[in-house]
Amino acid sequence: MRRARGMGVLALLLVLTSLPAASLAQAAPQPEMNYELRHVISVMRGNGLIPERAPDGKTVAWIRTARFPVFIEEEPFPTWPNALHFTTTEPTVLREVLLKPGMVWDRKLAEETARNLRGLAIFNVVAVVPVRAEDPQQIGLVVVTRDLWSLRTETRFQLTGSFIDTLMVQLTERNLLGRDKRASLRFNLEPLDYALGAVYVDPRLLGEKLRLVTTVDAHFERSSDDYDGLSGYVELGRPLYDLQQRWGFGLVAQYQQYTERQAQRGGLLAFTEPDCEGGDPEADCLSAGRIWDHRFVGTAALGRVQWGKGWIVRAAGGLGFLRVDADPNDATGLPAGDDARTVAFRAAFADTVLPRERQWVYPTANVRFFENRHQVFRDLAGFGLSEDVQLGPEVFFDVRAPLESIGSSESLVDMGGSLAWREAWGGDGLIELAGGVRARLWLSDGDDGQAAGEWFDIRTLARVRGSTPRLGFGRVVLRGDWVTQREQLTPGLVTLGGDNGLRGYPSQHLFAFGADRLRGNLEYRTPPWVVSFLHLGAVAFFDIGTVYDDINDAPLLHAAGLGLRMVVPQASSFAYRLDLGVPTDGSDGFFVKLGFETNQAVPVTPKEDRLYEFSVGGLANQP
């Protein structure tokens, strides 16, 4: 029997049609088969169906769903927990099916249907299979799904010694009442503060092509449990659900008011008087904590349009508003006084540490251009389950232009763009080259000395990454990226260590403001070992990187280690990971760093990138 590289429609048909019809009608699925293929064959056998070998040109006569619950008899789980889970309803599945009865079979629409269903993240099996119908000029369409256990606790933590660097615990129902609605309660602990919040996502509000997202978080100071403030987000829109949809819109509102702290290794960072020798106890330098009251209000309205078949163009345009305020508070500890030295220090703190106060009223537009070419992979983000990756070029550009003439506090152009190119090689290997840039241009002279035509806040990202094909011994994954920053008005904190690519060191082991960062990772991943219901894997890794102001003085650190990966197909499509890393450069002694999180430590697919809020020119990247 030929094995599919992934559960794309064409690959699935190649496997199914290589089996005699009798084997589909009589033979039970074998454990060594692809996880998804076993489910498809079970449906074929149980319903006396035969896959259609030549569906092209034939009309879809009917569409049926085969919806597996979370637990089934053939696996070593009790099935009674199914009574505590609402199996995804048939209308929820059918609304994603782009082929309709009476339409001529279209493989691309079938594959896009499968991609959209997998993108819901509520199934661990998705397959769209054309089968024989009574009329030889027609076909039936069977959509096979199997639910994930939707109520679960998602956890991430990092330890340095006995100190908890970060801890995230989220109780989530990802498929409320079997209708693909998500509700979460979450707790997020950082070195100096924590937040308690809730999330609700309804991708089909009132059964229409409308998406509602709401979040709210209350913030607290970690050591005292004092209330810090509140943040919230609301989005209502008509996203581009599929490639046939021509238009959409989006409305967004966001509010933040809480205390912001810049920390490293569990301690509040300090801002020291410029040009003062802080290492000399006799220097009597002025200093203050990097802590302030942060306020942000923003809203935007966008219209969206899409066109193309082989190449897809998505454009959007609209208007936006935002206001940012930042003030030191009592905990900042700014020195009082009217002498020139103290006044100069307070001014330097405001210029260097505090985000710039601004109000923007701006028109905005963006465009994305990509090739409509996808491939189904396995064992990249997880183990043993199908993953869709868009191949070929992808170009993105966006621009915002706050203008004083329409109510902004300044006139400038904020623009960014990115280019990524992904290709498969050796069958199911993957390689990506990508880059992004974001910069701002003053349109008029300002009170703070800026000149019209001057570029500032320039950030660039260059990235190369990929994976070897799946071989008998597994895959080798490589990632390298380089972030640079120039002419930053308010230099941001750049870190490396722990969960962002240097696993033998604590979180934020290397840090600097307005600095550049080089990061590289080499990782060997075993193929999945299927043990009963578990998909298990192991990794060996080598990480290297630096954060620097001057490349000639860059402290190049590296670490190595081992890790375990686990996917429980009934509960998740992503991997749980446990990593043990140790420094190998000898710069900081010997210690063992432990980290436990969800998802792979080295992302190699766009789906993984979308987990991060950090991006450069629209190119999402691990921060």
Q: What is the pLDDT of residues 179-225, one digit of tens each?
A: 999 999 999 998 889 999 999 999 999 888 999 999 999 999 998 99
Q: Which of 195, 188, 190, 187 is nearest to 163 (CA)?
A: 190
Which of 299-308, 540-549, 582-591 is predicted least confidently? 582-591
Strand partners, 477: 467, 523
131 and 184 together in one domain: no
Which of 132-146, 420-434, 599-613 is predicted least confidently? 599-613
Does residue 595 form part of some domain?
no
Above 80 in pLDDT, residue 317? yes
The residue among 587 and 602 whose pLDDT is bigger is 602
Q: Could you say which of 289, 323, 355 is where a domain stops?
A: 355
Q: Could you say which of 323, 355, 387 is where a domain stops?
A: 355
What SS3 state is found at 311?
strand
Does residue 79 form part of some domain?
yes
Does residue 515 form part of some domain?
no
pLDDT at 21: 47
pLDDT at 284: 80
pLDDT at 172: 92
Above 90 in pLDDT, residue 530? no
pLDDT at 14: 56
- What is the sign of the dihedral through the CA atoms of 280, 281, 283 and 288? positive
Token digits for 443? 């349109």
225 and 85 together in one domain: no
In a 13 Å sphere around the CA of 207, the CA atoms on its Cβ side amount to: 3
pLDDT at 568: 82
Phi, psi dihedrals of residue 290, rounded to the nearest 5°? -80, 75
194 and 141 together in one domain: no
Helix (H) / strand (E) containing 229 = strand 227-238
Which of 200-209, 393-402, 581-590 is predicted least confidently? 581-590
> Given pLDDT bands bounded at 50, 70 and 90, which one contains residue 5?
very low
Pairing of strands 138-147, 59-68: parallel
Q: pLDDT above 90 covers what percent of the chain?
A: 60
Write down the residue that tokens 């099996």 correspond to.
125
Does residue 402 form part of some domain?
no
pLDDT in tens, 461-499: 999 999 999 888 899 999 999 999 999 888 888 989 887
Burial of 613 (0-12, 13-18, 19+ CB in 10 A): exposed
Q: Could you say which of 79, 114, 147 is where a domain stops?
A: 147
192 and 72 together in one domain: no
What counts of helices (H) and strands (E) characterise the chain? 7, 34
Among 266-270, 282-286, 329-333, 448-452, name the most confident range: 329-333
Token digits for 130? 């054309």
Phi, psi dihedrals of residue 66, rounded to the nearest 5°? -125, 100
pLDDT in tens, 349-367: 988 899 889 999 999 999 9
The residue among 365 and 84 whose pLDDT is bigger is 365
Q: Which of 576, 583, 620, 584 is nearest to 601 (CA)?
A: 576
What mean pLDDT is predicted for residues 62-70? 95
Q: What is the mean pLDDT of the chain?
A: 88
219 and 73 together in one domain: no
CB 507 within 8 A of CB 158: yes
Q: What is the 3-state secondary structure (H, E, C) of 29-87?
A: CCCCCCHHHHHHHHHHHHHCCCECCCCCCCEEEEEEEEEECCCCCCCCCCCHHHHHCCC
Does residue 336 form part of some domain?
yes
325 and 217 together in one domain: yes
212 and 133 together in one domain: no
> Given pLDDT bands bounded at 50, 70 and 90, which one contains residue 3?
very low
What mean pLDDT is predicted for residues 73-101? 91
Q: CA–CA separation, 487 vs 491, rounded Å?
A: 9
pLDDT at 208: 87
Does residue 435 form part of some domain?
no
33 and 70 together in one domain: yes
Phi, psi dihedrals of residue 448, rounded to the nearest 5°? -95, 15
CB 215 within 8 A of CB 188: no
CB 486 within 8 A of CB 514: no
Does residue 459 form part of some domain?
no
182 and 135 together in one domain: no
Q: CA–CA separation, 230 vs 219, rounded Å?
A: 6
192 and 128 together in one domain: no
Q: How many CB atoms lie within 10 A of CB 33?
A: 16
Expressed as residue numbers, the domain containing 137 is 9-147
In a 13 Å sphere around the CA of 316, the CA atoms on its Cβ side amount to: 23
**Separation in Å, CA 29 to CA 14, 66, 273, 341:** 17, 16, 71, 79
Which of 128-132, 142-146, 290-294, 571-575 is predicted least confidently? 571-575
pLDDT at 32: 44
Q: What is the 3-state secondary structure (H, E, C) of 480-531?
A: EEEEEEECCCCCCEEEECECCCECCCCCCCEEEECCEEEEEEEEEECCCEEE
Does residue 397 form part of some domain?
no
DSSP 8-class letter at 331: G
> Given pLDDT bands bounded at 50, 70 and 90, which one contains residue 17?
low
> Given pLDDT bands bounded at 50, 70 and 90, which one contains residue 433?
very high
CATH number at residue 94: 3.10.20.310
pLDDT at 429: 95
177 and 137 together in one domain: no
317 and 186 together in one domain: yes
Domains in the chain: how many in total?
2
pLDDT at 491: 86
